[in-house]
Amino acid sequence: MANSNVKPATGKLGIMVVGLGAVSTTFMTGVFMTRKGLAKPVGSMTQYDKIRVGRGTEKKYLHYKDIVSMPTLDDIVFAAWDVYPANAYESAINAEVLKEKDIEPVKDELLAIKPLKAAFDKNYAKRLDGENVKQCANRWDMTEQIREDIRNFKKESGVDRVVVLWAASTEIYVAPDMKYHGTVAALEQAMKDDVVDKIAPSMCYAYAALMEDAPFVMGAPNTTVDIPAMWELAEKTKMPIAGKDFKTGQTLVKSGFAPIIGTRMLGLNGWFSTNILGNRDGLVLDEPANFRTKEVSKLSTLESILVADKQPDLYSDYYHKVRINYYPPRNDNKEGWDNIDIFGWMGYPMQIKIDFLCRDSILAAPLCLDLALLIDLARRAGRYGTQRFLSFFLKSPMHDYTQDEIPVNHLFQQYVMLKNAIREMGGYEADEELD
Statement: residue 144 has pLDDT above 90: yes
Global pTM value = 0.94
Judged on CB neighbours under 10 Å (0-12, 13-18, 19+), 241 is buried
Q: Confidence class of residue 279 from pLDDT cuts 50, 70 and 90?
A: confident
Judged on CB neighbours under 10 Å (0-12, 13-18, 19+), 433 is exposed
Do residues 278 and 332 make contact, with C-beta atoms less than 8 angstroms apart?
yes
Mean pLDDT, residues 165-186? 96
Alpha-carbon gap, residue 168 to 34, rounded angstroms: 24
User: For the chain, which domains are there?
Assistant: 13-246+361-425 (3.40.50.720), 250-357 (3.30.360.10)
pLDDT for position 332: 82
CA 253 centroid distance within chain: 16
The candidate with the shortest Cα–Cα distance to 96, out of 297, 278, 251, is 278
Statement: residue 374 has pLDDT above 70: yes
pLDDT for position 43: 97
pLDDT for position 245: 94
Instruction: Give the torsion through C-alpha atoms of 17, 22, 25, 30, to 10 deg.
Output: -120
Statement: residue 434 has pLDDT above 90: no
Q: Confidence class of residue 331 from pLDDT cuts 50, 70 and 90?
A: confident
- Which of helix, strand or coil describes residue 203? helix
Mean pLDDT, residues 78-96? 97
Residues 6+ apart with CB under 8 A from 331: 96, 97, 278, 279
Q: Confidence class of residue 2 from pLDDT cuts 50, 70 and 90?
A: low
> Each residue of 132-161: b (16+ CB within 10 Å) or e?
bbbebeebbbbbbbbbebbeebbeeeebbb
pLDDT for position 283: 82
Q: Name the DSSP letter for residue 317.
A: S
Q: Name the DSSP letter for residue 350.
A: E
Instruction: Give the torsion through C-alpha atoms of 302, 223, 15, 214, to 10 deg.
Output: 120
- What percent of the chain clears pLDDT 90, i.e. is strictly above it? 86
Summarised one tens digit per residue, pLDDT across range 7-45 is 999 999 999 999 999 999 999 999 999 999 999 999 999
Number of helical H runs and strand E runs in the chain: 15, 13
Q: Give the range among 280-289, 337-346, 408-417 with minimum mean pLDDT.
A: 280-289
Summarised one tens digit per residue, pLDDT across range 388-408 is 999 999 999 999 999 989 899
pLDDT for position 1: 52
Summarised one tens digit per residue, pLDDT across range 92-131 is 999 999 999 999 999 999 999 999 999 999 999 998 999 9
Statement: residue 296 has pLDDT above 90: no
Mean pLDDT, residues 415-426? 97
Alpha-carbon gap, residue 187 to 176, rounded angstroms: 11
Alpha-carbon gap, residue 88 to 8, rounded angstroms: 30
pLDDT for position 53: 96
Mean pLDDT, residues 374-390? 98
pLDDT for position 280: 75
Summarised one tens digit per residue, pLDDT across range 176-233 is 999 999 999 999 999 999 999 999 999 999 999 999 999 999 999 999 999 999 999 9
